[in-house]
Structure 1
Amino acid sequence: MASQVRRQVFLGTFIHSRSRTELEYLHDSAVCVDEHGVIVKVERGGCGGSGSGSGSGSGDTTSSSRLLQSLGWSEGEVDVVACREGEFFFPGFIDTHVHASQYPNVGIFGKTTLLDWLDKYTFPLEASLSDLGKARRVYTACVRRTLRHGTTTAAYYATVDVAATNLLADLCLSLGQRALVGRVCMDSEATCPSYYRDESAAESLERTRQTIEHVRAIDPGFELVGPVLTPRFAPSCTGEAMRGLAEMQREMDLPVQTHISENRGEVALVERLFRGSRSYADVYDAHGLLTGRTVLAHAVHLSEEEAALVRDRGSKVAHCPCSNSSLTSGTARVRWLWGRGIDVGLGTDMSGGYSPSVLEAARQAALVSRHVAMNGDGEGEAETEAEAESHKLTVEEVLYLATRGGAVVLGMEDRVGGFEVGKQWDAQLVGFGRPVRDQDGDGQQEEDEDEDEEDEGNVDVFGWEDWEERMAKWLYVGDDRNTKKVWVRGRLVHARRGRW
């Protein structure tokens, strides 16, 4: 897809993950983005501002001119975007597991666990989206809301309906969100409701091909929107359907997304349905679906043997802490997965999860890791205090999961996740607002707040916080009000009121 924008130069503070454990802070720097939305130059320091790392620089004219000259660009063909005080650029968030079709049910799960929740809430809603007018309302709201929260890339599950799935792909493309869009495959009469399933494995495969061809027609190179093979989970599919999807994967080299070991009842169901298999992971492997391009959501109850198999096949895990807690599925062990050589990203898993925000998912990942520390890693052996503490995830680690980690999981690490030359400008401008001002003796601020002033959110800064402390505040207190602007592949796709 030939999507071009004006050349752009971004000035200020840039923060991204250098590694799992380290955030890199580039203050008073510049990132130059070409008309294809690709980063062509990163100039570190000396590009305007006070040099104090405030992120407030409006840009030094001489430095900017010299930078443009080095690229052979003229000022008239370049848009310059500079941080205001208290703002910084951060990579766009990557949601590795989300059900767009379930968005209206966010927050609605009652006291149910996974399998009951599917029957009571999920299948009826998904089936109703064969009404394309309703589907358009749902999918438009979902994509717009996730963009507002800084999600520049999402791996979406749609429904079994071809037209509705195609509509989701169309909307992602038109609204500018990078996405993998999957038509859900479910053909098992034993587990799928009669009103919501593919009639046969052959029909499931044919419908999947139809959605792939639609995506290929609207975005031939899968540059922004691509198809993903989506067997819902093993119990919903016959062996014939899974083998057919595996053949399709090998034929077209497409990614695969599905669920694994989310809930103990689900694991027991797999054992009953696939009695000849050694484990849940073995079911997928035996049917050819455990590949280097497979994303496995949840992985809460993996055994050591399964983890080794997942690692050996190169499959990845989408960690969905909010959903795992909401549906009482369990506490996934991210550091345990990392220790076994498995790459991990974050998923909101709406509507099992109640929030469209990957920042919230990162927050929940940090909190869930503390529950693992309190309760042990499930191995059944007493842990020392140091071993328990080691389960905790840091601010830096969960922000890695939200960006660069997600890029690895979706096979997009060469395109997105950080601010390096050659990567595409998928980014968000984050701001905390002005530092809290002095107050007079009666506790009132010296000046009345401007009633028309933009709501800056819950993050209060006082001016003495260093950047590590500001990032911690953003993680634990921030929300979409702090996301001022969002770009995907250089295109501005969201801006808060008054910031276009």
Structure 2
Amino acid sequence: MAASPSQKNQLFLGLFIHSIRLGELQYLHDAAVCVDKGGKIVAVELPCDQEKAEDKLYPSLGWTPGDVLVTAAKDGQFFFPGFVDTHLHAPQYPNVGIFGKSTLLDWLNTYTFPMEASMAELPRARRVYARCVRRTLAHGTTTAAYFATIDVAATNLLADLCLAAGQRAFVGRVCMDRLGPEYYLDASPAAAAAAARASIDHIRTIDPGFALVSPVLTPRFAPACSAAALAELGALRRETGLPVQTHVSENADEVALVARLFPGHASYAEVYDAHGLLEGGRTILAHAVHLTDAEADLVARRRAGVAHCPCSNTALTSGEAPVRWLLDKGIAVGLGTDMSGGYSPSVLEAARQTVLVSNHLAMPAAAAGVERAPDSHRQPPDDNERARAKLSVEEVLHLATRGGAEVVGLSDRVGGFEAGKEWDAQLIGLAAVPDGGGEEDGGRAGAGAADEGNVDVFGWETWEDRVAKWVFGGDDRNVRKVWVRGRLVHSRSPS
């Protein structure tokens, strides 16, 4: 059965910060948010303290003080929506930081496939998956879209562990019947579909309504799947209505390989569309670095979303995804850590790298006296497009929350603090530097401040500046508590 939310109604007090639209954060000072036993936000009131909440909100909700758990943010702390990681590979977690000296396709054979295949040993898989889930929760990731492996039992174990830990998750049994080593391939297209169905059935057993954990159809990427395998998964998609996750246009060599393997199709994205894997508006396409204009238009028409993975794209020298261009095309974009192509389990790290990659896209190559090679996949950016390429702190935090929620099909449930949404949230703490800079105690940050992570706040910064300091300097040490559907799933301090 699905893990239950809190057994009490809950009142949260303090500062709440969330994105209300791309590029705009809303700061709710001295606010109160009421969350019922089912983990749903039922009231938002400001200004409001505990006394006012008990006098005004509790009676309207039918609550009594003895049935309410109260959590108040301290000075320097704020509530923020949980992060949505739209793309990561749980079995690759042990390889984080190991990129080798090659690009994507060589890296898969050297590092990735052997590690994934080893997860068939369930004790090993449990050790890896449990750590991966705990680490992502500790970084504030309340929703994760996981690629598992081709092994059904190991995939089911990942789903079990996500449910037990309380993380909202999409768990996909990877399908691939070619390109990989013989020891790590589906025996046939029919076998790939049957294995996917077996994992779906297991997740339906442990979480019948997919309230917390959902299956997701997962063709690894087009080169690793025959046309027959893609067709089987497309038929399963139409039958079940389940979401799909896969990769697209991550690497230039990969794009060329797709053209050779699927000569009858106009483009990489069109391969998925022709096999029924873009329809329905619930497809997560990781990377999308080298989409053509026509492909981007197709993705937008099909209401598929893109998981932007800046750390991985840089680490594997895949390219710089033009996020602003994708957004201008009307495509939903979220952020992905893409471990282990990416080196960190932190969506916050992905957010800061998204800013930096966008800055690089805004830098004309001519400024360094270098001529860019012609881009065969889309029209070269003009000066206006370069100028607009840069993304702000507010924009990348939107992608990390509401944008990601839209990409995974949960925009009606998570991503913000409106009544009716579920309480997927994190409590962030920043370190206050005392008068004298802490010299009186040997240079330490001050009593209790060191426990609030490595972002120093002196008191004169605006909240906009504090959020920027958190984005560029923060990590899991700043994540004090994490909730999913109202359930406390991580804490760095006594609850």
**TM-score band, normalised by the shorter chain?**
over 0.9
1:177 aligns with 2:167: yes
Secondary structure at the aligned position of 2:358 is classed as helix
**Could you say which residue in structure 2 is the equivalent of 1:130?**
120
Residue in 1 that maps onto 2:368: none
Per-residue CA deviation, residues 268-312 of structure 1 (Å, 9 max, x unaligned), is 111111111111111111111112111100000000111111111
- Check whether the contact 1:484–1:499 (CA below 8 A) recurs between aligned residues: no
- The alignment status of 1:3 with 2:1, answered yes or no, reads no
Cα distance change, pair 73–318 in 1 and its aligned pair in 2 (3 A): same
**Structure 1 residue 387: Cα displacement:** 4.0
Asked if 1:311 is matched to 2:313, the reply is no
SS at the partner of 1:213?
Answer: helix
Q: Does 1:33 find its partner at 2:39?
A: no
- 1:328 aligned residue (314, 317, 331): 317
CA distance 1:122–1:2, shift in 2 (3 Å): closer
SS across alignment from 1:124: helix
Provide, for residues 236-274 of structure 1, a one-character-per-residue CA deviation record: whole Å limited to 9, x for no partner: 111111111111111110000000000001011111111
1:499 aligns with 2:494: yes
Shift in Å, 1:375: 4.0
What are the residue-to-residue correspondences of 1:403-418 with 2, within 5 Å? 403-418=401-416
Is this contact kept in 2: 1:290–1:310, CA < 8 A?
yes
The Cα of 1:366 is off from its aligned counterpart by 0.5
Q: Indicate the SS of the match to 2:259.
A: helix
Match of 2:216 in 1: 228
Q: Which runs of 5+ in 1 are unaligned?
A: 49-58
* Conserved? CA contact 1:437–1:445, under 8 Å: no
Secondary structure, in 3 states, of the residue corresponding to 2:99? coil
Provide the residue aligned with 1:156 in structure 2: 146
Provide Cα deviations, 1:348-396, integer angstroms capped at 9, x if missing partner. 0000000000000000000000011014795565743x54221100011
After superposition, give the CA deviation of every residue in 1:180-234 in whole Å (9 maximum; x if it has no partner). Answer: 000000012xx12101011111111111000000000000000000000000000
Give 1:165 shift.
0.1
Distance 1:4 1:83 in 2: 21
Q: One-letter code of the match for 1:269?
A: L
| Runs (5+) with no aligned partner, structure 2 | 366-371
Which of residues 359, 363, 371 in structure 1 aligns to 2:360? Answer: 371
> SS of the residue aligned with 1:345?
strand
Deviation at 1:436, TM superposition (A): 4.0
User: Which runs of structure 2 are paired with 1:359-438 in the superposition (5 Å)?
Assistant: 359-375=348-364, 381=380, 383-384=382-383, 387-438=385-436
Structure 2 SS opposite 1:242:
helix
Q: 1:130: Cα distance to partner?
A: 0.2
Instruction: Give the 3 Å change call, closer, same or farther, for CA 409–382 of structure 1 in structure 2.
Output: closer
Alignment partners' CA distance in 2, 1:193 and 1:2: 38
Pairwise mapping of residues 26-175 of structure 1 onto structure 2 (< 5 A)?
26-45=28-47, 47-48=48-49, 59=50, 61-175=51-165
Give the deviation of 1:44 after TM superposition.
2.0
Equivalent pairs, count: 480
Shift, 1:64, TM fit: 3.5
Q: Among residues 298, 323, 326, which one is paired with 2:287 in the alignment?
A: 298
- Paired with 2:392 and 2:297, the residues of 1 have a C-alpha distance of 25
Q: Which amino acid aligns with 1:270?
A: V
Q: Structure 1 CA distance, aligned partners of 2:380 and 2:486? A: 50
Moved over 3 A (4+): 62-65, 375-384, 447-455
Q: 2:262 matched to 1:277?
A: no
| 2:251 paired with 1:263 | yes
Whole-angstrom distance in 2 between the partners of 1:192 and 1:136:
24
Identity of matched residues, %: 63
Please tell me the residue identity of whatever aligns with 2:262.
F
Question: Normalization by structure 1: what TM-score?
Answer: 0.93
CA RMSD of aligned residues (A): 1.6
CA distance in 1, matches of 2:57, 2:494: 26
1:135-179 CA-partner distances (Å, limit 9, x unpaired)? 000000000000000000000000000000000000000000000
Q: Whole-Å Cα distance in 2 between the matches of residues 375 and 124 of structure 1?
A: 40
Q: Does 1:447 align with 2:441?
A: yes
Shift of 1:314: 1.2
Question: Which letter does structure 2 place at the counterpart of 1:250?
Answer: R
CA deviation string 1:35-70 (max 9, x = no partner): 00000000122x13xxxxxxxxxx4x2443332122
Alpha carbons 1:85, 1:433 under 8 Å: kept:
no
Q: CA deviation at 1:339?
A: 1.0
Aligned with 1:16: secondary structure? strand
TM-score, with length taken from structure 2: 0.94
For the residue of structure 2 that corresponds to 1:446, the secondary structure is helix
What is the DSSP-based 3-state SS (H/G/I as helix, E as strand, rest coil) of the residue aligned with 2:145? Answer: strand
- Give distance in 2, aligned partners of 1:67 and 1:399: 30
Pairing 1:209-228 to 2, within 5 Å after superposition: 209-228=197-216
Matched with 1:354 is 343
**Change beyond 3 A, Cα 1:436–1:373:** farther
Amino acid at match of 1:19: R
CA contact (8 A) 1:301 1:332 kept: yes
CA distance in 1: counterparts of 2:67 and 2:341, whole angstroms: 46
Shift of 1:121: 0.2
1:55 corresponds in structure 2 to: none
Counterparts of 1:38 and 1:217 in 2: how far apart (Å)? 24
